[in-house]
Amino acid sequence: MHAPRSLVAIDLAAVAGNVRRLRAAAGGAEVWAVVKADAYGHGAVDVGRAALEAGAARLCVATLGEARALRDALPGAPLIALLPLRPGEEDEAVRLGCAAVVSTPAAWARARDRHDLDVHVEVETGMGRWGLPPELALVAGRELAAGPRPERLHGLMSHLATADEDDGAFADRQAAAFAGLAAAFPACPRHLANSAATLRRPDLVWDAVRPGLAVLGMDPFHVDPAARGLVPALRWTSAVASVRALAAGDSCGYGRRFVAEAPCRVALVPVGYADGYRRGLSGHGEVLIGGRRCRVAATVSMDQLAALLPDDLGVSEGDEVVLIGAQGDDRIRAEEHAQRLGTIAYEVTCGIGTAPARARREAR
């Protein structure tokens, strides 16, 4: 059996510790872990199980398809599908025991008389995507609370647009709009805060919080998660496939984007953009080899990259290469990839494809 070209290992002990950190930050509010998009590329089943065992009360997904995959593996897990159900999906939501979010007038019309369907009412407070107008959200909530099964009103929610930004003015506006409606429904869970608000805005924490990124140990403020007491769960590694010596004037990779100015060595690593290591990191990304940072020198190709080696670093075929994660005293964070690419850490980890092998370290 051939060894994988790269390996993504998920530290479930880190996930559990992050959930405990978020529970502490949330005070008495419940933590509902968001594990959509396969837990942002970390593996929704394993992450969801670890989160529940660490005290998360519910798991949030995007779609019924994601709920189905979780239900098969975690039969007792309380689930919420955050995107509106498509017409005709109500029966499956009931069968899966997955609560639905009503966030459009059409979704409310379909859910209104489905007394077997548990519902969260989403109100639009400024995100500009999903959410009922406040006046309709009030009507829907009151009808559900006064209906034949009032307990099917599982929650009232909204979604913050700018909680990760330093200027809190717009989040304050959203919070005020939400509070005006939330006061009418003290008996159901009210939830507004995401990872950023949970960690920095206790005034935006109601009865439950919905962190996703922070559960995985990534920083919602796009810097070092250690500053928030979070531990990254994902470690992505490969191995040196070959070490190539270049003379001055020699080039490496497509387009001759790297031309040696002096004799040097590059380590060839069998990972590329097909694996999720983005081409945009060509020339300025870094990997760890032997505990040292090595620049990704040439153009990242579909299934390989080349790292420029320090002159004093001894490297052999098979030596570990860290793409994301710690080695020695250093760590390459997903946030670093994001900053170099002009994006966010969510996109970086979601973009790690299925080509890398997967492993997990159990929560302790």
Task: Provide the annotated active-site residues.
Answer: 36, 254
Question: What does the alpha-carbon distance between residue 35 and residue 212 come to, in Å, rounded to a whole number?
Answer: 6
Provide φ and ψ at 294, rounded to 5°. Answer: -125, 125
Q: Which amino acid is at 297?
A: A
**Nearest CA to 359 among 273, 235, 220?**
235
Answer for the pair 238, 269: CB distance below 8 angstroms, yes or no. Answer: yes
Answer for the pair 62, 37: CB distance below 8 angstroms, yes or no. Answer: yes
Per the listing, tokens 């250093």 go with 330
Task: Return the HEC string of the chain.
Answer: CCCCCEEEEEEHHHHHHHHHHHHHHCCCCEEEEECHHHHHHCCHHHHHHHHHHCCCCEEEECCHHHHHHHHHHCCCCCEEECCCCCCCCHHHHHHHCEEEEECCHHHHHHHCCCCCCCEEEEECCCCCCCCECHHHHHHHHHHHHHCCCHHHEEEEECCCCCCCCCCCHHHHHHHHHHHHHHCCCCCCCEECCCHHHHHHCHHHCCCEECCCCHHHCCCCCCCCHHHHCCCCCEEEEEECCEEEEECCCCEECHHHCEECCCCEEEEEECCCHHHCCCHHHCCCCEEEECCEEEEECCCCCCCCEEEECCCCCCCCCCCEEEEEEEECCEEECHHHHHHHHCCCHHHHHHCCCCCCEEEEECCC
